[in-house]
Amino acid sequence: MNTDHERIRKLLPLIAAGVEPEPPHLAECAGCRTELESWREAAHLLRTQPPIAAPPGLALRTRMAVAEARLQRENRWLTGLAVMLGVSAWLLFLATAWLIHRTSGTSIWSACLMASVLGSLTSLMAAGVVAAHRRGKETL
Ligand SMILES: [Zn+2]
Rounded CA-CA distance 69/77 in Å is 12
pLDDT of 126 reads 82
80, 72 in Cβ contact below 8 A?
A: no
pLDDT along the chain (140 residues), means of 10: 82 93 93 95 92 92 96 90 87 85 86 83 83 72
**pLDDT of res. 52:** 87
3-state secondary structure of 102: helix
Q: pLDDT at position 140, please?
A: 57
Whole-angstrom distance, CA of residue 138 vs CA of residue 125: 20
Q: What is the pLDDT of residue 35?
A: 96
Tell how far the Cα of 22 is from the centroid of ligand 1, in angstroms.
Answer: 12
Distance 23 CA to ligand 1 centre (A): 10
**H-only helix segments in the chain:** 2-16, 25-28, 30-48, 58-104, 108-139
What pLDDT score does 2 carry?
60
pLDDT for residue 69: 95
Count of alpha carbons within 13 angstroms of residue 108, beta-carbon side? 4
pLDDT tens, 32-65? 999 999 999 999 998 899 988 999 999 999 999 9
> Could you tell me the distance, in angstroms and rounded to a whole number, from the CA of residue 13 to the centre of ligand 1?
14
Say whether pTM exceeds 0.85.
no
